[in-house]
């Protein structure tokens, strides 16, 4: 339900009404280049999370200081994985339990708050988080844990339209930030641990009317809607059961739970898909398309233009949802239109974003046990002998297959937390983790709305001194230029700037800034709770600001095993911190 204070409503109309302008398609396309706002998740549809601002640099960052902090309030703390948006002096930021706040970006005063009325029985796998919103026209649009899209008036927070994307009783939820492409709001879905069928869908951003639907498990039909009529748009790239045995494709998982990126040059959206269901891979021989893959999707009709599967026949829950970031580089005097992703399976991939061809791949974590490498031509993994957890049907009691030690753990060499690409250094800055798991398979069967794993596991660190590693990686060579080791796992996003800085946060609560070329830490500030959100920067009234959401939670304390014990003392929270340099007369 919406909660308003009269003063907040008046403030909203006064502040937002004086300078507010509608967010256009051009605003969205130009987001990375413009510095006075942040209107997309990823600070640009490509998701590079790079800003051309440089007033805060390696020399001045030492003087960075907080100017306001806003509390999400109440008892609804838990993980805060959001990235704020800023438009015309107003910040829009989501919080746990599907809440959205409008804040005066100059003062930190609340303008309005919207609380989704969540039903009993929602089934989010990995905490009650929300990763952000989208702006379009006079709307702010976000998704809820009961699998709905909600469009609110930017000035008042009043609901303009609401759309059910999927049935939460079947295990669906949505935690990702939607994006707007060509006037359509595009969303994926969560729920891969419940035997749902992943999909990407497009809705008219102004009205909420569905435009097309694209399932991401081979065999399921896609549709488009024109003039109110639903027509088939072909199955999702393959025949039913072709890479799936029997009827398992009907509950095949492949959830698109992180959302996507978009490249205007190729006019393609890039979505990653999650694990095939169930985890027990002996029940579903074959590659199990399009699970654990990157998909290039036509935004006009949802057609899958190309796909690249990072972990065919995934048996470790490595997923393939991590963001695919478009970038260009020179090679042999020619410009290569590339895209890069750091996968949960421990390999970093560089693809041709026009056709999905494999360019190169290399490990970005210190140890990988499930595969010995990648095929040089195709990028397909070369599976390690005895690296897959055993078939329980071959065990003495039929209840537990042979366990294996797998590195990385299923939480991944890199999980959801977005990396950044610097156009200055031409390096990727990758938040990663070093951990192992014991994993084994168990019998299972699909039941609507119930967990559908067929596996057990325990997770442990591979080092006593650290788990998290922030890495600077050259995508052209695979060389690691520098690293920063962190005791707790890294679970927050990264921001790179022209000021030769890289910002990120850690579960210990610190916002940190590093020299982008050397990795030297130049700044740190403790926000009072763990940072698992993504920092942003923008310019306002001639000054550069940095903002980040603080609030410990997410998957690690829920699924982390021995790792969770290492961080159990960390306090939950829920707040936004905003920083800037002091003015000359304030120094």
**If you write DSSP's letter for every residue of 23-50 in order, what string do you get?**
BPHHHHHTTTT-SS-B-STTSSTT---E
- How many domains is the chain built from? 1
Beginning with the edge strand found earlier in the chain, give each strand of the sheet holding 50-51 in spatial order: 50-51, 494-497, 501-505, 510-515, 521-526
Domain limits for position 174: 2-586
Return the CATH number at 529: 2.140.10.10
> For this structure, is 474 an active site residue?
no
Q: Which of helix, strand or coil describes residue 221?
A: strand
DSSP state of 197: B
Q: How many CB atoms lie within 10 A of CB 541?
A: 10
The pLDDT tens digits along the chain (587 residues) read: 333 343 344 444 444 444 467 999 999 999 999 999 999 999 999 999 999 999 999 999 999 999 999 999 877 788 999 999 999 999 999 999 999 999 999 999 999 999 999 999 999 988 999 999 999 999 999 999 999 999 999 999 999 999 999 999 999 999 999 999 999 999 999 999 999 999 999 999 999 999 999 999 999 999 999 988 999 888 877 788 899 999 999 999 999 999 999 999 999 999 999 999 999 999 999 999 999 999 999 999 999 999 999 999 999 999 999 999 999 999 999 999 999 999 999 999 999 999 999 999 999 999 999 999 999 999 999 999 999 999 999 998 889 999 999 999 999 999 999 999 999 999 999 999 999 999 999 999 999 889 999 999 999 999 999 999 999 999 999 999 999 999 999 999 999 999 999 999 999 999 999 999 999 999 999 999 999 999 999 999 999 999 999 999 999 998 888 998 889 899 899 999 999 999 874 55
DSSP state of 561: T
Could you tell me which of 247, 242, 216 has the C-alpha nearest to residue 309?
216
Catalytic-labelled residue, pool 37, 127, 146, 317: 317
Could you tell me which of 280, 300, 296 has the C-alpha nearest to residue 288?
280
Q: Which of helix, strand or coil describes residue 508?
A: coil
Could you tell me which of 84, 259, 292 has the C-alpha nearest to residue 175?
259
E strands of 119-277, at which residues?
134-136, 139-143, 148-153, 159-164, 179-181, 184-187, 199-204, 210-215, 221-226, 229-235, 260-263, 268-272
Which pTM does this prediction carry? Answer: 0.95
């Amino acid at each position: 339900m919406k909660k308003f204070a009269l003063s907040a409503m008046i403030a909203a109309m006064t502040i937002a009404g004086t300078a507010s302008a509608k967010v256009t398609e051009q605003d969205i396309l130009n987001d990375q280049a413009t510095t006075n706002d942040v209107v997309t998740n990823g600070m640009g549809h490509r998701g590079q999370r790079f800003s051309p601002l440089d007033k805060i640099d390696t020399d001045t960052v030492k003087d960075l200081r907080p100017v306001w902090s806003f509390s999400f309030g109440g008892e609804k703390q838990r993980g805060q994985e959001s990235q704020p948006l800023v438009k015309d002096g107003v910040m829009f930021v989501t919080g746990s339990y599907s809440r959205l706040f409008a804040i005066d970006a100059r003062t930190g005063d609340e303008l309005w708050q919207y609380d989704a009325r969540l039903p009993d029985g929602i089934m989010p796998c990995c905490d009650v988080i929300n990763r952000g919103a989208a702006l379009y026209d006079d709307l702010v649009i976000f998704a809820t844990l009961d699998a709905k899209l909600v469009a609110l008036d930017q000035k008042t927070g009043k609901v303009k339209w609401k759309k059910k994307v999927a049935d939460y009783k079947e295990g669906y939820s949505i935690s990702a930030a939607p994006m707007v492409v060509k006037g359509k709001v595009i969303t994926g879905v969560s729920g891969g641990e419940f035997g749902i069928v992943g999909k990407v869908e497009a809705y008219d951003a102004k009205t909420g009317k569905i435009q097309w639907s694209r399932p991401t498990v081979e065999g399921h039909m896609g549709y488009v809607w024109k003039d109110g009529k639903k027509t088939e748009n072909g199955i999702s790239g393959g025949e039913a059961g072709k890479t799936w045995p029997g009827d398992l494709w009907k509950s095949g998982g492949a959830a698109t739970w992180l959302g996507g990126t978009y490249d205007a040059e190729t006019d393609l959206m890039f979505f990653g898909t999650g694990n095939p269901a169930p985890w027990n891979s002996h029940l579903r021989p074959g590659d199990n398309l399009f699970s654990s893959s990157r998909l290039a999707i036509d935004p006009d009709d949802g057609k899958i233009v190309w796909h690249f599967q990072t972990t065919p026949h995934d048996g470790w829950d490595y997923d393939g949802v991590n963001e695919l970031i478009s970038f260009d580089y020179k090679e042999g005097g020619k410009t290569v239109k590339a895209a890069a992703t750091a996968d949960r399976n421990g390999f970093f991939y560089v693809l041709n974003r026009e056709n999905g061809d494999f360019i190169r791949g290399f490990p970005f974590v210190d140890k990988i046990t499930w595969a010995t490498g990648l095929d040089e031509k195709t990028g397909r993994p070369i599976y390690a002998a005895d690296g897959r957890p055993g078939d329980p049907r071959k065990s003495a009691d039929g209840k537990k297959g042979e366990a294996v030690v797998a590195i990385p753990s299923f939480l991944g060499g890199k999980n959801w937390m977005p990396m950044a690409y610097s156009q200055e250094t031409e390096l990727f800055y990758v938040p990663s983790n070093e951990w192992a798991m014991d994993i084994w398979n168990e019998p299972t069967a699909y039941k609507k709305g119930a967990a559908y794993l067929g596996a057990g596991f325990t997770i442990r660190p591979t080092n006593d001194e650290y788990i998290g590693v922030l890495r600077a990686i050259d995508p052209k060579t695979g060389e690691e230029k520098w690293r920063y080791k962190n005791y707790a796992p890294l679970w927050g996003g990264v921001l790179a700037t022209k000021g030769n800085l890289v910002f990120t946060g850690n579960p210990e609560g610190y916002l940190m800034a590093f020299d982008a070329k050397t990795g030297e830490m130049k700044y740190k500030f403790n926000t009072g709770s763990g940072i698992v959100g993504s920092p942003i920067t923008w310019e306002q009234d001639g000054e550069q600001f940095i903002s980040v959401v603080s609030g410990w939670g997410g998957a690690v304390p829920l699924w982390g095993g021995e790792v969770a014990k290492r961080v159990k003392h960390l306090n939950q929270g829920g707040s936004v911190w905003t920083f800037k340099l002091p003015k000359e007369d304030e120094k």
